Amino acid sequence: MDRRPVPFFAMMQRMRFIRRWALMRNTQGENLQEHSLQVAVTAHALAVLRRERFPRLADGTARLLVDPDRAAAMALFHDAPEILVGDLPTPIKYFNPEIQTAYKRVEVVAAERLLAMLPDDLRPTYERLLAPDRRDPEAAETAALVKAADRICAYTKCVEEDRAGNTEFRTAARTILESVRALGLPEVDCFMEEFVPAFSLTLDELE
């Protein structure tokens, strides 16, 4: 008997068809698949920085460490529900609390639909990535770093657009930078100070 094709990974490939920043004039378009890789690299780095440089707060309090590999994997899937619901532009998504709450519910339903495309024995593994249980402290901390990485990548997108002479992203850059600074995470502040300035450089300057 023929086995029914399993669509989950074919659906993941469709992330490349979801455009980001749809309401903005872009010098270089960005799709969801590209963004997810960027967030994964950044989330991995944030987890490494926490482990290697900031395992304790300034007052000496030990922090919950995050597995860099899990952070990267979770980041790869953090926007997967948008395959089904699309990337809602920020001015609409955050227009009021009701819209924001409703969109989050839609994303939950979309994540459940994607997970239902997996065989039963694989579903728990991917559920930890697509729909992590925020009641679990480690999952919550990992998700927080992924969110921070997402914000950082949005900011570097603005920086790159500005370097290309596109002023369309300047207001977004200021707003996003404020939100990144407000996180109060030392590994995030470190990444912003040490690594983000290089995004303003040309290829020759990078070398």
Q: What is the pLDDT of residues 150-199, one digit of tens each?
A: 999 999 999 999 999 999 999 999 999 999 999 999 999 999 999 999 99
Spatial CA neighbour of 76 closest among 150, 20, 5:
150
Which CATH number belongs to the domain containing residue 51 in this structure?
1.10.3210.10
Residue at 113 is within a domain: yes
Dist. CA 162–CA 164, nearest whole Å: 5
The pLDDT assigned to 100 comes to 79
Cβ-in-10-Å burial (0-12, 13-18, 19+) of 153 comes to: buried
pLDDT in tens, 69-122: 999 999 999 999 999 988 766 766 666 778 778 878 889 999 999 999 999 999
Residue at 71 is within a domain: yes
- What tokens appear for 145 in the block? 């770093």
Residue at 90 is within a domain: yes
The pLDDT assigned to 167 comes to 95
Phi, psi of 31, rounded to the nearest 5 degrees = -105, 170
The pLDDT assigned to 57 comes to 87
1 pLDDT above the threshold of 60: no
Q: Report CA-CA distances (Å) from 180 to 27, 71, 87, 131, 204.
A: 24, 18, 21, 23, 28
68 pLDDT above the threshold of 90: yes
Residue-number span of the structural domain to which 101 is assigned = 8-206
Residue at 3 is within a domain: no
| Residues 164/139, Cβ–Cβ less than 8 Å | no
Dist. CA 139–CA 136, nearest whole Å: 5
The pLDDT assigned to 74 comes to 98
The pLDDT assigned to 104 comes to 84
Dist. CA 37–CA 108, nearest whole Å: 22
Number of domains the chain contains? 1
pLDDT in tens, 140-162: 999 999 999 999 999 999 999 99
| Residues 78/142, Cβ–Cβ less than 8 Å | no
The pLDDT assigned to 102 comes to 80
Phi, psi of 98, rounded to the nearest 5 degrees = -65, -45
The pLDDT assigned to 97 comes to 78
For a pLDDT cut of 70, what percent of the chain falls above it?
A: 95
Residue at 120 is within a domain: yes
Residue at 2 is within a domain: no
Dist. CA 47–CA 49, nearest whole Å: 5
Which residue, chain included where needed, has tokens 């990974």? 9
Residue at 144 is within a domain: yes
